[in-house]
Structure 1
Amino acid sequence: MRLVPINCIKPGSYLSKSIYDAKGRVLLAKGVPLTSLILQRVQCHGFLSLYIQDEYSQEEIEDVIRPELRQKAIFSVKNYFGFFNYPLEVGIKEEKQDEQVKQREYLQSLREIAENIVEEILEQRSIMINLVDIKSMDNYTYAHCVNVAILSLVMGIELGYNRKQLIDLAVGAMLHDVGKIFVPKEVLNKKGKLDDKEFELIQEHPRQGYEYLKDIYEISSLSRAIVLQHHEKVDGTGYPRGLKSEKIHPYAKLVAIADVYDALTSDRPYRRGMPPNEAMEYIMGAVDKEFDYTMVRTFIRKIIPYPVGTLIKLSNGCVAVVVEINHHLPLRPVVKVILENDQYARDDIIDLYRNYSIVIEGIQYEDPAKEDTDKALGF
């Protein structure tokens, strides 16, 4: 299976990973053959990319957690954020006691979900991230929070955090953007560049989220530190307090990396997500500026930038498919050449870890067979 922009998907391919609507219902089930009409309808629902299975990429890649647990987590985060949104937007004021009871119920549900996610990931300690999460545009914020928690947990396990630390990390990551409920939606969803006043509003969301949560004893001080500090940068240029590396909590340093990686690789209404390798290169390039060196080293050990089944363009002019990951150096996988000098190749195998004369120039999204046909027709 491979992640492909919808406009590059050849009708007749099969969907390899189910997609869900804003209510967590299956919109299109795994295994469905993709027709032109289905692809148009999916795009109307705000999906810009899909995981497909075709003749080049038939191996299935499992998610880090069960799909039903992921959807349950998204629903739980949505409920918790929505609890604050409803009184704020509609103006309904409930009795203080009833409000506190309801808040504790939502928080308990979110904590139980966090514990379940921790248990699932702990069972697979050596796991690496090789999928980009496909999000509904309507559920982006909630799905983003869940994925940031998963990415952070994978790194936290690599760093040797114990179960209690991992749960605090997961809760803080799932709530890291709760302060955005105080930011006007027209600012959050603006497609163009933010003006200075709008950016100031965005910069306040970590502080506002922290202030709202600081007196809720069920949320640990460590989880609240994530909410407050996840936009701080190790060189002191972050917000809201401009903290330098030694003042930023390690949990917040982890979540900062997961937050940026998931945001960069996610499709948004105004742009398609970056390929994992490009997002990874951005994060590596921001070491000791935005991100902590040790945390980035942990991150790159756990992310697979070119999953099995990815079609890639090589510097020697060939198109190849990734057939094996070199776990000691994921940026240099083992590949099988399928196209050489515009001719179908003999399935030569190249281990890029051992052959440094060849580099990966980029991901090939278009079906090579389609490109050959277009050339023959003069397009």
Structure 2
Amino acid sequence: MALPQYSLRVPVSQLQLGMYVCELDRPWAGTPFLFQGFPIQNAHDLRTLQETCEFVWVDRRQSHTVTPLSASLSAGAQAKTYAIDYRDEVKTTEPVWREARAVSMRMLDAVKFGKELDVGEVRRAVGECVESVLKHPAASLWLARIKQRDHYTAEHCLRVSLYAIALGKALGLLPLELEELGVCGMLHDVGKIKVPDEILNKPGRLTDEEFRIMQAHTTYGYQLLMANSEVPPAAVDVAHAHHERMDGKGYPRQLPAHRIPFKARIIAVVDAYDAITSDRPYSEGRSSLEALRVLFEARGTQFDEVVVLAFIQLIGVYPPGEIVELSTGEVGIIIGFDAGSKLKPRVLIVLDASKQPRPERVLDLARNPLDEQGRLVSVREVKPSGAYGIDIDAYRAKGLVVPG
């Protein structure tokens, strides 16, 4: 069997969306695959490969994945360790995040007071965010977890933009496409400026009439952005369509799945994730794991299944910055993991079993999962942001350094 020069042997358990399968571990005849060579485009392709083969060969040149295949999948390659010393990365990334946050606030103020939207400023801020996500993905996603109630809409737009850029990268979008997607994220909710605050921030259930007004933010956003010739057409479409559903039951137009733009499908997923994990007047934020479960259960009906699965793979069960309670009762913050041990993260323990502050220490559940008494430790429960009064931003500012 002659294999392409740039092929890699990959166990099916390590396959990702975007990889190009050029050869199987068995003859093509008798397999379910119509073509002898194809890109992995969706969950069905992944599942069929995993059910049919033990390993395959992947063409590196034709693959578009999150990490370089030669680094992460070559035979005998060691599991990649994700960067945990955030001090240097955050020094570079945080100014970008803070400037983009300021741009988001100015953008919404301009819309609120009837001023012209500075699309060029939004594009420049998003371009820097794209560069930041590409260079420092872990630090960028960590900063996306910073949340302040008094600037919810502005920060929500920025977080959606950051998550969308990271997800778009995972789905194989090119840098220019990522910039446009990031602009879509920044502008997707501008229509909410036209919704009365008493409806946006109502602590109780909305009446039917209030819900109708809330839904109109998609139409308001469409109209606002259509009036500005500098806004990319994709951003206009996303503002209008990010609450459409794959089953045709969304709003405002009840579009069938084939008419929902791909970028709107991406924004729909990350928009919902950020909303679910954020504190709002009408509900407390839920954990990342709970949010991913909601997305997973709604795949194929509310959300695009391929996009949901790619986002779950991107965020992971225990993303950096998540608060967890351990089997010992102690509470800590996820600060990283090895690529081959995503279910056994590194945890910075900050509270004792009585939920009182304790001297901080790092516990690596993959390499040394024992507490100070020698007992085996595991994650018992994932907690929502802000649980037990833990301020993630304060720990982020300290650097979160893992010794050695």
* TM band (smaller chain): 0.5 to 0.7
Partner of 1:185: 197
Query: Structure 2 vs 1, CA of residues 148 and 333 (structure 1 numbering), >3 Å: closer, same or farther?
Result: same
The partner residue of 1:78 within 97, 105, 128 is: 105
Q: 1:222 aligns with which of 219, 229, 234?
A: 234
- Could you tell me how far 1:269 is from its partner in structure 2? 3.8
Name the TM-score, length of structure 1 as normaliser: 0.65
Residues 144 and 159, structure 2, Cα contact 8 Å, conserved in 1:
no
RMSD (CA atoms): 3.6
Q: Is the 8 A contact 1:64 1:129 kept in 2?
A: no
Task: Find the aligned partners of 1:243 and 1:265 in 2 and give their Cα distance.
Answer: 27
Query: Cα deviations across residues 313-350 of structure 1 (Å, max 9, x unaligned)?
Result: 46x6665755752535745546799989xxxxxx9965
Partner SS state of residue 104, structure 2:
helix
Alignment of 1:103 onto 2:116: yes
Residue pairs, 1:254-333, within 5 angstroms? 254-307=266-319, 312-313=324-325, 319=330, 325-327=337-339, 330-333=342-345
Identity %: 31
User: What is the Cα deviation at residue 239 of structure 1?
Assistant: 0.7
Task: State how far apart, in whole Å, the 2-side matches of 1:318 and 1:86 are.
Answer: 50
Task: Report if the CA contact (8 A) 1:254-1:295 is conserved.
Answer: yes
Alignment pair present for 1:212 and 2:224 = yes
In structure 2, C-alpha distance between the alignment counterparts of 1:348 and 1:202, rounded to whole Å: 45
Please give the residue correspondences for 1:87-98 in structure 2 after superposition, counting only pairs within 5 Å: 87=114
**1:247 paired to 2:259:** yes
User: Is the 8 Å Cα contact of residues 278 and 285 (structure 2) preserved in structure 1?
Assistant: yes
Unmatched runs of 5 consecutive residues or more in structure 2: 1-83, 354-361, 370-376, 390-404
Stretch deviating more after TM superposition (320-329 or 227-236): 320-329
Q: Do the aligned residues in 2 keep the contact of 1:64 with 1:121 (CA within 8 Å)? A: no
- Partners of 1:244 and 1:129 lie apart in 2 by 32
TM-score by length of 2: 0.61
Q: Give the deviation of 1:360 after TM superposition.
A: 4.4
Q: For the residues of structure 1 that align with 2:321 and 2:235, how far apart are their CA atoms?
A: 37
- Contact 1:148–1:255 (Cα < 8 Å) also in 2: yes
What's the offset of the Cα at 1:123? 2.4
* CA deviations over 1:278-304 (Å, ceiling 9, x no partner): 111111121112111110111012114
CA deviations over 1:6-55 (Å, ceiling 9, x no partner): xxxxxxxxxxxxxxxxxxxxxxxxxxxxxxxxxxxxxxxxxxxxxxxxxx
Residues 1:59 and 1:181: Cα distance change in structure 2 (over 3 Å): same
Question: In the TM superposition, what are the counterparts of 1:56-205 in structure 2 within 5 Å?
Answer: 66-87=93-114, 103=116, 106-124=118-136, 129-130=141-142, 133-205=145-217
Q: Deviations over 1:230-282 (max 9, x none)?
A: 11111112111112322111101111111111111112244432121111111
Displacement after TM superposition at 1:124 (Å) = 3.7
In structure 1, the residue matched to 2:393 is none
C-alpha distance in 1 between matches for 2:232 and 2:321: 41
Partners of 2:346 and 2:363 within 8 A in 1: no
Q: CA deviation at 1:134?
A: 2.6
Residues 1:159 and 1:307: Cα distance change in structure 2 (over 3 Å): closer
Give the 3-state SS of the residue equivalent to 2:141 in structure 1: coil
Which whole-Å CA distance do the structure 2 matches of 1:79 and 1:264 have between them? 25
Query: Residues 243 and 363 (structure 1 numbering): CA distance in 2 closer, same or farther, change over 3 Å?
Result: same
The number of aligned residues is: 289
Return the match for 2:382 from 357, 360, 363.
363
Give the letter for the 1:103 counterpart: E
Unaligned stretches of 5+ residues in structure 1: 1-57, 88-101, 341-346, 368-379
Instruction: Report Cα offsets for 1:67-95 as digits up to 9, x if no partner.
Output: 222222222222222223124xxxxxxxx
Helix, strand or coil: the match of 2:381? strand
